[in-house]
Amino acid sequence: MPLNMPQVDDNNIWHPFSIQSEKHRNTYVSRGDGAVLFDENGKEYIDLVSSWWCNLHGHANSEIAEAISCQAKKLEHVIFSGYTHGQAVDLTQNILNHMPDALNKIFFSDNGSTSIEIAMKIAYQYYVNTGDTKRNTFVAFEGGYHGDTFGAMAIGASNGYHDVFAGLLGSCKFFKYPCITDGCDIESIESDVLGQIDDYFSSYGNTVIAAFIEPLVQGASGMQVSRPQFLNAFVKLCHQHNIIVVFDEIMTGFFRTGKMFAMDYIDDKPDMVCLSKGLTGGFLPLGLTVVASKIYKAFRSHDIAKAFMHGHTYTGNPISCSAANASYKILMRDATQRRIAKIEEFIRDNFYKLNTIECVRNVRTMGCIGAFDLSCNNDILMSVVNSLKNEGILMRPLMQRTLYWIPPYCITDDQMIRCFDTMFDVVSEVTKK
């Protein structure tokens, strides 16, 4: 650890999503290996949240590190307007292998929020380019989180994270996200929501630019799980009303839900898909917005006014793309696919055992994601989290009520068993007091 680390970190670094209280001291992480992070004393923490949901194959994965190193020695970056490179071409092919035929154009950027901004802007300009300038509102779901830039905040305005900026955000109509909770009548909730969306589109559909959804699992609002039946019906409804549908697969992509993409659970497909996080295996920032050719065609013109005038300096960065290609190669291997199936099975078979603990509510699982709520105050929740940390388990709560797993795929059976048993004991003990 650098000698002056606590002083500089305390005095000069402003960490994200962190209350700035004087008491707080960040844990210094010196290295990572597989699912484990090590602090300066060599204490181990099993990273059950994949360091903000992006690590797929473990920390410091040598294959991805090697690919990055090779690429850095060959071409570190190149302007992506008028120039291109092999890593972007390979990545495009890799991703298109898993997209429906109709989605065949990819716009590169450098994080999740920007891939969302791009989808919002492309949808809007699509209509402008086709002579429809009346559209002025987006549609999204309550609790949805799509990033922290202004456009992304507008379509996530109901999630509680962006309240301070409410007065500055663009227009968005929100509908209830029909997530599965203890004892709910999910079919009737879904049909109410679909009825409300249908009514809204019937009256105002011609003002809607696009509808955004986190498919199957809303992440930041607490790993809220909804059904593929709802997702399919929602996409169908949008298409009946000619509304562009955008799937935010930034968290759900790359087998988090058990399939490559959440859209693989349904028959009707979105018109745009946003990807980031797991895309590079958790090594480097990169965002992709995958666009249907029918939308892209409205931008094909000699008229500069019809061009999509958007780009970020590090758009399509070759080193980020090389990490993504290396991660994809590992992801597609039989051994990784077997691990993913094993993690899914472990989470499904074990998480519901938590229902025997008194204050546990709404246990839910979807693929490699497991979550539950605690009906206790935030101090107790934080005691649970701190006790888990003392036991060498990194979990971070959401919405002051939800604990969850979204582990790297390299996590071993022994690590999962140890984490689950410890978590069960800690939650039981701490919440009993």
Ligand X SMILES: Cc1ncc(COP(=O)(O)O)c(C=O)c1O
Out of 154, 225, 235, 251, name the contact with ligand X by CB under 6 A: 251
> Which residues, numbered 218-237, are part of the site for ligand X (CB under 6 A)?
219-220
Nearest distance, CB of residue 33 and ligand X, angstroms = 24
Nearest distance, CB of residue 226 and ligand X, angstroms = 14
Sequence-separated (6 or more) residues with CB below 8 Å from residue 133: 127
Binding mask 130-149 for ligand X (x = CB under 6 A): ---------------xxx--
Nearest distance, CB of residue 152 and ligand X, angstroms = 7
Nearest distance, CB of residue 336 and ligand X, angstroms = 22
Binding mask 95-124 for ligand X (x = CB under 6 A): ----------------xxx--x--------
Among the listed residues 422, 347, 421, the one whose alpha carbon sits nearest the alpha carbon of residue 392: 422
Rounded-to-integer distance, Cα 46 and Cα 405, Å: 11
Among the listed residues 35, 60, 64, the one whose alpha carbon sits nearest the alpha carbon of residue 408: 35
The residue (of 32 and 219) whose beta carbon lies closer to ligand X is 219
The residue (of 276 and 315) whose beta carbon lies closer to ligand X is 276
The residue (of 34 and 112) whose beta carbon lies closer to ligand X is 112
- Chain centre to alpha carbon of residue 312: 21
Nearest distance, CB of residue 406 and ligand X, angstroms = 10
Nearest distance, CB of residue 221 and ligand X, angstroms = 10
How many residues sit in the footprint of ligand X (CB under 6 A)? 14
Out of 250, 260, 290, 354, name the contact with ligand X by CB under 6 A: 250
Binding mask 277-296 for ligand X (x = CB under 6 A): --------------------
Integer angstrom CA distances of residue 225 from 32, 362, 395: 30, 10, 19
Q: In what order do the strands lie in the sheet with 402-405?
A: 360-366, 369-374, 402-405
| Choices 204-212, 213-221, 298-306, 321-329 (CB under 6 A): range interacting with ligand X | 213-221
CA dihedral (16, 19, 20, 25) positive or negative: negative
Greatest Cα-to-Cα distance within the chain, rounded to the nearest angstrom: 70
Contact, 430 vs 380, CB < 8 A? yes
Name the residue whose CB lies closest to ligand X. 112
3-state DSSP assignment of residue 106: strand
Burial class (CB in 10 A: 0-12, 13-18, 19+), 46: buried
Rounded-to-integer distance, Cα 381 and Cα 419, Å: 17
Using rule CB under 6 A, residue 398 touches ligand X: no
- Find the helix or strand (DSSP H, E) in which 325 lies: helix 318-331
Nearest distance, CB of residue 108 and ligand X, angstroms = 14
Torsion of CA 390, 38, 415, 412, to 10 degrees: 170
Nearest distance, CB of residue 252 and ligand X, angstroms = 7
* Interface ranges with ligand X (CB under 6 A): 111-113, 116, 145-147, 214, 219-220, 248, 250-251, 276
